[in-house]
Amino acid sequence: MYCRQIKQIEGIRGYFKGLGPNLVGVIPARAINFYTYGNGKKIFTELNHGKETAVVHLASAATAGIVTSTVTNPIWVIKTRLQLQGKQRLYSSSFDCGIQILKHEGIKGLYKGMSASYLGVAEGTIQWVMYENLKKRWAQSSDQLENKRTIGGKSAQAWIGNLGAAAVAKLVAACIAYPHEVIRTRLREPVSKTGTVKYTGLLQCLKLIVKEEGVVALYGGMSAHLMRVVPNAAIMFFCYEAILHNFGEEKKR
C-alpha cells in the first residue's frame, strides 16, 4: 500500500531517496563499528585477565555502538531529510541538505535523534552478544561432525553457522529494538514552515506517538526494515569472519 503511494506521488525515484548519503554513511559506519568492536574486545579481554566472556562482548558492542552513532549521526540526519521531502524538493543534494540544516538549525540540527540513536545501541549490543554466542555453539557442533568438508581451512558447516548466527542475531535484535528506529526518524523530521517542532525529545516523542497513533505505530515499516537489515547483516558478518580468518591464517605462516 505504502509502496504504491510512493510510486503514485513521487514516481520510481521516490524509492531511492536518500540513497547517496546512505551509501556514503554505510561504509564508514560499518568500518568504525567493526574496528571499534574488534579492538574493544581485545582491550576488555585483557582487562578481564585474558578471558573472553559475554560481559566482554557486551562492553565491546556497547562501546562500538556509541562511537559509531556519535560519528555518523549527521549522515543519517541528511539521509532521513532527503527521504522525507515530497514533490516539493527542499534540498537539491546531500551537500545542500547539510548546508541548509546548518544555516537554519545550527550544528544541533545535524545531531537530532542522537538520544534515539544511543537507545539503538541496545540493538547492536544484543546482536553482537547473540552472534558471538551462537557462532561459538554452532562451531562446536560442526567440530563434532565427521568427514567435514573444509573451505579455506574452515569447515563448510562452520561457515554456514556464521551466516546463520548473523541472520538470527540481527532478526532478534531488530525486532526487540525496532521502536527506536521510528522514534529516531520522527525526531529527525524537518522543522515546519511555522517554526514549530512536533517532537522535542525521546520520551516526549514516544508518548506522543502512542497517544496519537497507538503502540502499533512504533512498529510501522518493520517488515520492510527486516527484509533489508537481516540479509545485509548475514552477508556483512560473513565477510567480516572471512577477512579475519584469511588474515589470521596469513599471520600464522
The secondary structure of 45-114 as a DSSP string is HHHTTT---HHHHHHHHHHHHHHHHHHHHHHHHHHHHHHH--SS-S-SSHHHHHHHHHHHH-GGGGGTTH
What was the pLDDT predicted at 148? 58
* Helix, strand, or coil (residue 151): strand
Superfamily for domain range 1-111: Mitochondrial carrier domain (1.50.40.10)
Cell numbers found for residue 121: 545501541
Nearest to 20 by CA among 64, 78, 67: 78
Identify whether the C-beta of residue 156 lies closer than 8 Å to the C-beta of residue 150: yes
Domain-wise residue ranges, the chain: 1-111, 126-253
Positions in the chain short of pLDDT 50: 146, 249-253
What was the pLDDT predicted at 243? 84
What was the pLDDT predicted at 252? 46
To 10 degrees, the CA torsion angle through 61, 66, 69, 72?
-100
50 φ, ψ (degrees, to nearest 5): 80, 10
What was the pLDDT predicted at 86? 63
**pTM exceeds 0.85:** no
